[in-house]
Structure 1
Amino acid sequence: MLLRKEFTFDAAHRLERYRGKCEALHGHTYRLAVTLDGHSDDEDMVFDFTELKRIVSEKVLTELDHAYLNDVMDQPTAENIALWVWRKLEESVKRPNCELHSVQIWETATSSVIVFREDVE
């Protein structure tokens, strides 16, 4: 089974190694989807949604929401943000019955990146 929870956060960034409109300071309302892959446990759940919300809030949203992302990571592209989120969450959501499957970041309503385990160095 795949279990997914979505979040939003607002942040600003600039892409220093990019030539174009996005090299200037600007902001987005990002959408984040965290997907776990697993099977039901003894409570018939892959993962408790409340617990997942707490973990993502503590590990990710407290650092990214209303932040200048260049202070948090180098070259904060959607790709790099998704990789950063993966690294922040992977160990915290791992259970005997499930693990992190993907992290998806939308920079706009129609533009997103999905990171899978094999994409993480």
Structure 2
Amino acid sequence: MIVLKEFEFDAAHYLPSYNGKCEHLHGHTYKLVVKVDGRPDMEGMVLDFSLLKKIVQTKVLRRLDHKLLNDVIPNPSAENIAIWVWNRLAKPLYGENHRLCEVEVWETRTSGCIYRGEFYEGELC
């Protein structure tokens, strides 16, 4: 079973190695979706949503919201942001009955990426 929680944060970034409009400073209202896979515990929950929210706010959003992402994440493409978020959340979201299974980072309503951790690297859908 997968539980998920969506978050939004505003941030600016630029892609210095990219040849195009994204090489210039610009901003997004990002959507972040964090998914946790597991089995419901005795209380019927995989993970309490309020605990998930607290972990994401503490480990991720406080570092990224209303920031210049280049000061936090080298070359902050959506893909690199997703990997960075995964690395910040994988350990705190590992429990007896659950684990982090997927991170989605959306730059716009139509453009985003999904990261499923190193286990999936190199595999095609």
Bin for the TM-score computed over the shorter chain: over 0.9
CA distance in structure 1 between the aligned counterparts of 2:109 and 2:17, rounded to whole angstroms:
24
Quote the residue 1:48 is aligned against.
48
**C-alpha displacement at 1:103, in angstroms?**
0.1
Paired position in structure 2 for 1:75: 75
TM superposition shift of 1:43: 1.1
TM-score relative to the length of structure 2: 0.94
Tell me which amino acid in the other structure corresponds to 2:89. L
Shift of 1:119: 3.3
Aligned to 1:108: 108
Aligned-pair identity (%): 53
1:29 aligned residue: 29
What is the TM-score when the length of structure 1 is the normalising length?
0.97
Equivalent position of 1:119 in the other structure: 121
Aligned equivalents of 1:17 and 1:116: distance in 2?
25
Give 1:85 deviation, angstroms: 0.2
Quote the Cα distance in structure 2 between the aligned partners of 1:16 and 1:70. Answer: 9
Letter in 2 for 1:119: E
For the residues of structure 2 that align with 1:102 and 1:13, how far apart are their CA atoms?
23
Extract unaligned runs of 5+ from structure 2.
none
For residues 77-96 of structure 1, the aligned pairs below 5 Å read 77-96=77-96
**Which one has the bigger strand percentage?**
1
- 1:69-106 alpha-carbon deviations (Å, 9 max, x no partner): 00001100000000000000000011110100100000
- Residue of structure 2 in register with 1:17 after alignment: 17
Q: CA offsets, 1:42-64, max 9 Å, x none? A: 11100000000000000000000
Cα distance in 2 between the residues matched to 1:44 and 1:101: 19
For 1:13 and 1:119, how far apart are their aligned partners in 2? 25
Equivalent-residue separation in structure 2 for 1:111 and 1:41 (angstroms)? 35
Q: Which 4+ runs in 1 deviate beyond 4 A? A: none
- Number of residue pairs matched by the alignment: 120
Query: Comparing both structures, which one devotes a greater share of its residues to helix?
Result: 1
- Secondary structure of the 1:103 match is strand
